[in-house]
Amino acid sequence: MDGVREKIIDSAGRVFAERGYKSATVRQICQAAEANVAAVNYYFGDKEQLYLETVKQAHRRLTAQFPLPPWPKETEPAIKLNGFVSAMLARMIGGKAMPWEQQLMLREVLHPTNACRELVEEYFRPQLELLLSILSELLPSATPTHKQRQCAFSIIGQCLFYRIAGDIVEMMATKDDQSHFSIEQLADHITKFSLAAISETSTSEDHDSNAHPSTSLARP
């Protein structure tokens, strides 16, 4: 049996994730948790401390549910990349209803609060480091770090897009599309797209030029 405290955190997670910190009301939270209005202040002091506790809990559950995958020693890096992308996509738009934990984190990314700095160090940075370690096997060892990071962000950005703009994509989708936007298909596309870009990038010479806008032609 869940204690009242835990039940409140769970309800608070859902409500905060859906409505945001300011718009969520303690009365909604307590009603969802079948608890009295005063319970929030009794167990957590005030609304903000409940929010901080909720974000921590979200981080805890996510890292428990999606541990960093321990691949066999000599797995092909391309396989690892596909696994990473699939896992990230699954977390983003996983299954049917998005778990509130992920939704809360997304809110923190978009509009960081006090609860954010801890999340960056303990959740987002390890994920980035993992991706960078995979990329380091795919890119020439001479690749400058800032280019490695740009590639990593390009990959993450492709995944994040379907979380951010999923509703808009649906509005603009044709009947034909719908069957081609499953998680597996998207992961497949993103992996291929990125692998192609990487293998090509690694052969092109980058002179780290700053006064060389390359094919600049912003908006004529």
Partner DNA sequence: ACTCAATTTAAACAGTTGTTTGAAACATTT
Partner DNA sequence: AAATGTTTCAAACAACTGTTTAAATTGAGT
Site for its own copies in 46-65 (CB under 8 A): none
DSSP-derived secondary structure letter, 45: S
| Contacts by residues 25-33 (CB-CB < 8 Å, ≥ 24 positions apart) | 26/50, 33/4, 33/7, 33/8
Pick one of 72, 95, 141, 205: the residue that binds its own copies (CB under 8 A): 72
Residues 25-84 touching DNA, rule: CB under 7 A, are 25-28, 35-42, 46-48
* Of residues 48 and 129, the one with the C-beta less far from DNA: 48
Distance CA 28, CA 32 (A): 6
| Region near its own copies per CB under 8 A, out of 35-43, 47-55, 134-142, 194-202 | 194-202
Joined together, the tokens standing for residue 24 give 């969520």
| Region near its own copies per CB under 8 A, out of 30-38, 49-57, 94-102, 120-128 | 120-128
* Of residues 43 and 188, the one with the C-beta less far from its own copies: 188
Q: Which residue has the tokens 């608070």?
A: 12
Q: Out of DNA, its own copies, none, which partner does residue 132 contact, by CB within 5 to 8 A per kind?
A: none
Joined together, the tokens standing for residue 202 give 């690694």
Q: What is the DSSP string of 156-197?
A: HHHHHHHHHSHHHHHHH--TTGGGG-SHHHHHHHHHHHHHHH
Distance CA 62, CA 56 (A): 10
* Of residues 53 and 155, the one with the C-beta less far from DNA: 53
**Residue 81 Cβ vs its own copies, minimum distance, rounded to whole Å:** 9
Q: Binding mask 11-50 vs its own copies (x if CB under 8 A, - otherwise)?
A: --------xx-xx---------------------------
Q: Are 183 and 120 in contact (CB under 8 A)?
A: no
Does position 1 interact with its own copies (CB under 8 A)? The reply is no
Q: Binding mask 5-24 vs DNA (x if CB under 7 A, - otherwise)?
A: -------------------x
Distance CA 106, CA 119 (A): 11
- Binding residues (CB under 7 A) for DNA: these are 4, 24-28, 35-42, 46-48
